[in-house]
Amino acid sequence: MAKSKQDPILHAAADWWVRLRAPDAEGETIEQWLAWTGEDRRHLEAFERVNQLASQLGSLDSVTRQGLIKAFGRTVAPQRRWMPLAAAASFVAVVLGGAYITWISLNRVNIEVYNSAVAQNRDFTLPDGTQVALGAASTMTTHFSRGQRQIDLTSGEAFFTVVHDNSRPFVVGAGDISVRDIGTAFDVRRTGDRVTIAVTQGRVQVSNISQKPGASQGGTLEVTAGQLVSYDPNTSAMSMGSMTAEQATGWQDHRLEFVDEPLSVVIANLNRYSRQPVQIADTDLDTLTYTGLIRTDAIDSWLDALPKLYPLRVDTHGNQVILSDEHPAAHR
């Protein structure tokens, strides 16, 4: 009974894994797979899980290996077969500068996953020459082929200085938002499903690709240097503002800058740099807004000053900092 309730997305990911490794796989198959991964961020996550599983199969005993193959194989057409040893050879994990980079070569498409640790920013250059500054505790995946450059920002923040190429569009996906480069440098920050884009040079096209009811599907904004776009997942709406280049890139120099953002969003981004996680205990504090600067090398000082700005308490319990309502009885 348990097997019949397995995740259909994971089964579909296993099916794509087999199809992409078939000897007769063609460019059309790859394009279809890319379209599938772009439909939902869970699709790519599931596909990566299948690859991780495949990399481990070669070291399992035969009974366990056959059981796993049987579990995933039931949605795959009879002529397709799992090839765990081939997968293990094509799926490579290495450690570089304290961050894990994983890549898979699928004919003409290269996929790389970049991670950074808490309180650790990373700078690197993509194969096309585009420079990336990846914020702390962030994850992004690149899909590069001869005809496309697709970036998926799963969490955190990244600043891109893009090498423009008319033949290969550079597109960054962050949840419900798609950012298309038109020769530019820009910052993308993702906090859950909330996204902000700040352009420091050139211009980008920002599109709302949300499938939620009531969302302004197909809506596109052209954003130029000095402008900021904020996407609120609660309303599925994008709003425009302004932000200087110094503000947009301040996090690269220990400065997090916020403009009228929910305290919950501020704390979530602060936690990417804090060795001591901060938690909001009372949900009525989530909607408080904050405008200002936080130095990531002086987080304790900011927390100490927080009760002067808001009616809340800051307490330390073990390895956590707890923010709670100053007068909880008033809300009962």
Q: How many CB atoms lie within 10 A of CB 129?
A: 10
Q: What are phi and psi of 75, to 5 degrees?
A: -95, 0
CA–CA dist 283, 295 (Å, integer)? 25
* Residue 184 structure tokens: 């530019």
Closest CA to 148 of 125, 174, 126, 117: 126
CA–CA dist 28, 277 (Å, integer)? 46
CA–CA dist 164, 42 (Å, integer)? 29
Model pLDDT for residues 26-74, shown as the tens digit of each residue: 667 777 877 787 788 788 878 777 766 665 554 445 555 555 555 554 4
β-pairing, 122-125 with 255-262?
A: unpaired
CA–CA dist 322, 312 (Å, integer)? 10
Q: In this predicted structure, what is the pLDDT of residue 81?
A: 39
Q: In this predicted structure, what is the pLDDT of residue 149?
A: 94
Q: In this predicted structure, what is the pLDDT of residue 147?
A: 85
Task: Give me the domains of the chain, ranges plus CATH numbers.
Answer: 1-90 (no CATH), 108-250 (2.60.120.1440), 254-331 (3.55.50.30)
Report yes or no: 119 and 251 within 8 Å, Cβ to Cβ: no
pLDDT along the chain (332 residues), means of 10: 58 80 65 78 78 57 54 44 38 32 51 92 95 96 90 96 92 95 93 96 92 61 95 92 94 94 95 95 90 95 95 92 78 42
Model pLDDT for residues 139-176, shown as the tens digit of each residue: 999 999 888 899 999 999 999 999 989 889 999 999 99
